[in-house]
Structure 1
Amino acid sequence: MICLKFMLVVTSILTHVEGASGVTPICPSEEEIFPCTCEVDSTSLLRLDCSDVASENELSMIFNNELPTKNFHSLKITKNDKLKTLPKGVFGKNTFEEVLFIEGALEVVQPEALIGSASTLRKLQIRSHKLRSFPFGEVGYYRNLSKLYLGNNDLDSFPRIVSTSLKELNLAQNPLKHIPAGGLYGMPNLRIVYLYSCEIAEVPAGTFTGLRNLFYLTLADNKLTEIRPYSFELHTKNGRLFLTSNNISKIAKNSINGVSYFLNMNENSVVFLEEEIFRPVLERGAHLSIESNPLACGCDIAWLVRSPNLLAKVEGRSACSDGTLITEQDPTDYIMC
């Protein structure tokens, strides 16, 4: 018995040494995983493609077999209209660092469908499906998950997520309709947030205040008509905010804070470039694009055209309602302002 234990210890040590030496991993045989395919890429990572599976049962049978390799870098399933549900335990004891479902008919991800990868999963993408049910309460168990992309689905309410590992969140193109107050507080380390095309009509004050690492935020193509105080707040260098293609006509003082690289207000209903709102943005170093707005270009822009350094930060074809570019305004025309 002592000899057996000694041999097991030695075997374990040798296994770790062999793994550390950079030995190329080996894919399961074609017969074991058909119709999935496996490849070892140029960086010696195992990548699975199961796009041709015919059902949830077939997917489960493949991964609940005793495969010689259980640790894979990625699993990809694209353009599959057979899978409607990811059931609990579908992947058995196999682990992944990336799981990518792109274009398909997936509607439900059941609790514990991916729990075997709780310590390994870094990126989960379910894009362009019909997803309406997802176990958001489990996200915190995936302690290395940094990217959660669920864009272009049928999620109809803003999820409650608690995760200290998440850095990128994409819920774009879902009919969320609103963001609850404090809806993002459970994800304090977010850096990038995509919420475009979500039918959102209002952003509560302080929604982004606690996200100390946030530098990229887009709520383009929503139903915003006004920006209330403390609606948007970025805290890092290179802060970028995209509010393109809304119907914004009213912007309150102290409503856009911390944008230091780029503010996109194209395709809105802004009439006046009020100094107390836009000067702080430009003075922080941000560039401004405000094309396709009915800008009056009266005395409200005098402060801007008289400040060459700030005017140089106005980008693109940002123009007055009469078609003349803001950057080509003559300062002498504003002497009386």
Structure 2
Amino acid sequence: MGGTLLLLLLVPLVAGGRTNTLLTETRETELHFPSSKSSWPCPEAESIAPCVCTKDDADEVIDMDCSDVQSDDELTRAFQAYFPFDRFRNLTISKDETEDRVPITTLTRATFNNASFVNIIVIHTNLAHIDLDAFNNSYPFLETIEISDNPLDIFPFDLLASCPYLAELKLDKNAITHMSNLNSQSLARLQITNSPRISFGTEVFYGVPNLQRIILKNLHLNYIPDGMFSQQEQLTYLDLTSNEIETLYNGSFHLGGPLEQLMLDSNKIFHIQSGAFGGLPQGLVMLMQYNSLTDLPQAVWEPVFKSIQGNDPTLRDLVSLRGNPIKCECNLQWLVQESTYLDLLTPNTACEDGTLLDDAADVILANC
């Protein structure tokens, strides 16, 4: 079709406090689109197969699903087609874990040509390498990256500094061996799980001050250095479940933010130094279930209870120590004689012989 046409497609997408325009194009030009009316604003289906472009009429955005590609070359060829618009909301390359993996291995700068994405999802593939500039065109728009269940051993964490709107990074079940110090003013949610080879330094989170949720599960972490989370003034949720932590050292959890939940379940914690916790807010929920605690020393736990109780003695059931072999003897006299502290423990907190701590309290008071 020839002729001059003024095309104006204004599509607001509000997310994370900003407005994107995905299908926004204002131009007065000679249009010779090899894209049929039925496929618009996507390219012709045959030209990008086996990738599939779909339009979301409600949000007036377009998505690209390349879950059926069979090679790196096939993925690259799909993005060499003519695209009326090259900015997408979602890129999805994903299979269910019960299916064969998507047989892509490498993402480079050339893979996606001029296309850009707001959300990138790559799950259950053979991806082993990502070039640092593979997502360059997406940097100004990226809000979410999920790269999970791949043999990927290096992730280009340096790209975070170039993505001003990236709010969520999720890296589960990869083979990543190192996480460099993160640098992002926008990152709010970080999740890395089931990556037991990964290592990182004490200052890894110093450059991401706006993190609200950190999930680091099943990474074989064996200790938490002094001050690791001290810069997280916005942190509300911290999950370190299923690691190998044995000792909580002085300063491990000195927190200055509005933390609501601290999860330390299923570690090997048997010793907590005085001063391990600091700055815990009133009402904090702390889960330290299925560890190896045998004692609750007053020097450690009284400051914790005082801090999370704050000025509200009616608070209850905020600390769960279920599944620890706690010796309920005179060592706990200080605790059971202060009912408001005892009330902060969940009712399923039990002694090593299975007796509920609430039931053991009278015996301890009578014999000590």
Per the normalisation by structure 2, the TM-score is 0.81
Q: Distance in 2 between matches of 1:103 and 1:231?
A: 35
Partner amino acid for 1:66?
Answer: Y
- Deviates most, 80-89 or 97-106: 80-89
Q: State the match for 1:142 in structure 2.
A: 163
Decide which structure has greater strand share: 2
Percent identity between the aligned chains? 29
Contact 1:89 1:112 in 2 (8 A): no
Bigger mean CA deviation after superposition, 23-32 or 48-57:
23-32
- Which residue matches 2:28? none
For 1:73, the equivalent position in structure 2 comes to 89
Alignment counterpart, residue 51 of structure 2, candidates 29, 36, 57: 36
Which stretch shifts more, 32-41 or 109-118? Answer: 32-41
Residues 226-272 of structure 1 show CA distances to partners (whole Å, capped at 9, x for unaligned) of 01011123333343211111111110111123444211111111011
State the one-letter code of the partner of 2:120.
V
Query: What is the deviation of 1:35?
Result: 0.9
Alignment-mate amino acid for residue 55 of structure 1: S
Cα 1:299–1:26, aligned 2, differ >3 Å: closer, same or farther?
farther
Indicate whether 1:263 and 2:286 are aligned: yes
Q: Which segment drifts farther, 317-326 or 298-307? A: 298-307
SS of the equivalent of 1:15 reads strand
More helix by share: 1
Equivalent residue for 2:132?
Answer: 111
Alignment partner, residue 31 of structure 2: none
2:331 — aligned with what?
300
Q: Please show how residues 198-209 of structure 1 align to structure 2 within 5 Å.
A: 198-209=219-230
Residues 46, 309 of structure 1: CA spacing in aligned structure 2 closer, same or farther, 3 A cutoff?
farther
Counterpart of 1:326 in structure 2 is 357
Counterpart selection for 1:312 from 343, 347, 350: 343
Partner of 2:8: 15
Shift, 1:333, TM fit: 3.2
Residue 152 of structure 1 corresponds to 173
Tell me, what secondary structure is at the counterpart of 1:140?
Answer: helix
Cα pair distance change 1:275/1:44, threshold 3 Å: farther
What residue identity is the alignment partner of 2:294? V
Amino acid at match of 1:311: L
Mapped contact 2:62–2:90 kept (Cα < 8 A): yes
* C-alpha displacement of 1:122: 0.2
Alpha-carbon separation, structure 1, partners of 2:318 and 2:169: 29
**Residues 109/20 of structure 1: CA separation in 2 closer, same or farther (3 Å cut):** closer
TM-score, reference length from structure 1: 0.88
Instruction: Indicate the residue corresponding to 2:183 in structure 1.
Output: 162
CA–CA distance in structure 1, aligned partners of residues 106 and 294 of structure 2: 48
Deviates more, 1:217-226 or 1:178-187: 178-187
2-structure distance, mates of 1:20, 1:214: 30
Query: Could you tell me how far apart the structure 2 residues matched to 1:249 and 1:163 are?
Result: 35
- Is 1:172 the counterpart of 2:193 in the alignment? yes
Gaps of 5+ in 2: 14-20, 25-39, 96-100, 310-316
How many pairs are equivalent?
A: 326
